[in-house]
């Protein structure tokens, strides 16, 4: 908390700030200021200290450190508690553990790399160090287990909108939750929950986004924001925006106002109206994706002219 305030103060001043001014602002001793500055340097902040002039923030580390996330975060609840890891097996497991211990809604687990990142349908999520967003968010929604699928849509909307704003590229959602640019996957969402028959205890929303990864880091059909835009993109800004937009759309779900979510998802989707091939437990269905059902399933007009709805599966656009 103190370190976060030091960074915020130094950022807002953009010039040297004396130790005395900082100690008055933070209501701590100058020796304590010095100790916090030392720890911030160890975490990767470049802070110059000049006698009689004070401290100057030269650069911030390209890391998802809590103090970086908090500085400028405009959410009320999401991302207000952050657990940060350099390396972890999977942020999903850690978020599950924290949620089971009672961590509040909005708690975020993020890591610079994962050794066993996982995706939908038992796949692996490749998580090269410092090149992407690998996060899991704890939610405690007032929804039935059958309605939890909507959270995945909300997260996909938030990610897609954020990517569009950050890069100007026409990102789109492939049902249910892949975010693509030019047909290549840039982000994926994995939603897992702990529920009783009719009551959700908690939901974990995992986000994997390829941000500054190069081709060598990624699976064949994957891409990154850097590859598509030609520029390095700030992971902190992306994360702050995803959290902000998730909070907004999640608010609609909590208010049981589902229709704006459905409309927004459809507007960002490249699945509806397209011919698709859906693989589901080794069964393949071909047809035209025509709509989203009230439960978030994909409504398909199949080859026999029947309307069928599928809640899971992997979609290929043909």
Nearer to ligand BTN, 7 or 190 (CB): 190
Yes or no: say if 261 and 248 are a contact pair by the CB < 8 Å rule.
no
What is the rounded CA–CA span in Å between residue 205 and residue 247? 12
The reply on whether position 92 binds ligand BTN by CB under 6 A is yes
- Minimum distance between the CB of residue 117 and ligand BTN, rounded to whole angstroms? 4
| E strand or H helix at 164 | helix 149-167
- Minimum distance between the CB of residue 64 and ligand BTN, rounded to whole angstroms? 12
Q: Which residues pair with 178 in a beta bridge?
A: 174, 188
Query: Phi-psi region for residue 200, left (φ > 0), alpha (ψ -120 to 50) or beta?
Result: beta
- Minimum distance between the CB of residue 252 and ligand BTN, rounded to whole angstroms? 23
Task: Return the residues of window 275-304 that contact ligand BTN according to CB under 6 A.
Answer: none
- Minimum distance between the CB of residue 156 and ligand BTN, rounded to whole angstroms? 10
Phi, psi of 192 (to 5 degrees): -125, 150
Identify which range of 65-73, 182-190, 211-219, 270-278 contacts ligand BTN by CB under 6 A: 182-190
- Minimum distance between the CB of residue 55 and ligand BTN, rounded to whole angstroms? 35
Nearer to ligand BTN, 135 or 244 (CB): 135
Task: Return the residues of window 14-43 that contact ligand BTN according to CB under 6 A.
Answer: none
Which among 182, 187, 20 is positioned nearest to 117, based on CA atoms?
187
Identify the residue among 114, 162, 167, 210 touching ligand BTN (CB under 6 A): 114
Q: Which residues contact 42 (CB under 8 A, 6 or more apart)?
A: none
Q: In what order do the strands lie in the sheet with 298-302?
A: 307-310, 298-302, 283-292, 275-280, 314-317
- What SS3 state is found at 181? strand
The reply on whether position 91 binds ligand BTN by CB under 6 A is yes
The reply on whether position 118 binds ligand BTN by CB under 6 A is yes
What is the rounded CA–CA span in Å between residue 71 and residue 252? 26
- Minimum distance between the CB of residue 153 and ligand BTN, rounded to whole angstroms? 14
- What SS3 state is found at 273? coil
Chain CA centroid to CA 24, Å: 36
Report which residue's Cβ sits closest to ligand BTN: 188
The reply on whether position 120 binds ligand BTN by CB under 6 A is yes
- Minimum distance between the CB of residue 310 and ligand BTN, rounded to whole angstroms? 17
The reply on whether position 131 binds ligand BTN by CB under 6 A is no
- What SS3 state is found at 84? strand
The reply on whether position 117 binds ligand BTN by CB under 6 A is yes
Q: Which residues pair with 108 in a beta bridge?
A: 82, 137
Identify the residue among 54, 106, 149, 206 touching ligand BTN (CB under 6 A): 206
- Minimum distance between the CB of residue 245 and ligand BTN, rounded to whole angstroms? 18
∠ CA 98-103-107, rounded to 5°: 90
The reply on whether position 218 binds ligand BTN by CB under 6 A is no
What is the rounded CA–CA span in Å between residue 317 and residue 211? 24
Task: Return the residues of window 132-151 that contact ligand BTN according to CB under 6 A.
Answer: 134-136
Identify which range of 1-9, 49-57, 200-208, 286-294 contacts ligand BTN by CB under 6 A: 200-208
Strands 200-210 and 307-310: unpaired
In the complex, the residues that contact ligand BTN under the rule CB under 6 A are: 90-92, 114, 117-120, 123, 125, 134-136, 178, 188-190, 206-208
């Amino acid at each position: 908390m103190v370190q976060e305030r030091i960074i915020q103060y130094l950022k807002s001043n953009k010039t040297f700030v004396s130790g005395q001014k900082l100690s008055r602002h933070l209501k701590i001793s100058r020796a304590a200021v010095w100790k916090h500055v030392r720890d911030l340097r160890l975490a990767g902040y470049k802070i110059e200290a000049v006698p009689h002039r004070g401290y100057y923030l030269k650069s911030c580390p390209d890391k998802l450190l809590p103090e970086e996330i908090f500085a400028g975060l405009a959410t009320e609840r999401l991302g207000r508690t952050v657990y940060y890891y350099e390396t972890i097996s999977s942020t999903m497991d850690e978020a599950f553990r924290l949620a089971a211990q009672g961590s509040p809604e909005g708690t975020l687990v993020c890591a610079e790399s994962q050794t066993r990142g996982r995706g939908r349908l038992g796949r692996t999520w490749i998580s090269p160090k410092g090149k992407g967003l690998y996060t899991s968010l704890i939610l405690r929604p007032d929804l039935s287990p059958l309605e939890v699928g909507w959270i995945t849509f909300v997260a996909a909307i938030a990610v897609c909108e954020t990517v569009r704003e950050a890069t100007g590229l026409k990102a789109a959602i492939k049902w249910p939750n892949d975010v693509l640019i030019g047909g290549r996957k840039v982000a994926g969402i994995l939603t897992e929950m702990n529920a009783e028959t009719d009551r959700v205890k908690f939901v974990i929303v995992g986000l994997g986004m390829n941000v500054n990864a190069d081709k060598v880091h990624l699976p064949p059909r994957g891409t990154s924001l850097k590859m598509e835009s030609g520029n390095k993109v700030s992971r902190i800004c992306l994360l702050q925006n995803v959290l902000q937009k998730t909070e907004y759309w999640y608010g609609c779900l909590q208010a049981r106002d589902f229709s704006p979510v459905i409309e927004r998802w459809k507007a960002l989707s490249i699945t509806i109206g397209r011919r698709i091939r859906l693989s589901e437990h080794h069964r393949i269905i071909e047809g035209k994706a025509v709509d989203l059902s009230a439960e978030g399933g994909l409504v398909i007009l199949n080859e026999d002219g029947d309307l069928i709805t599928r809640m899971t599966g992997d979609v290929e656009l043909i």
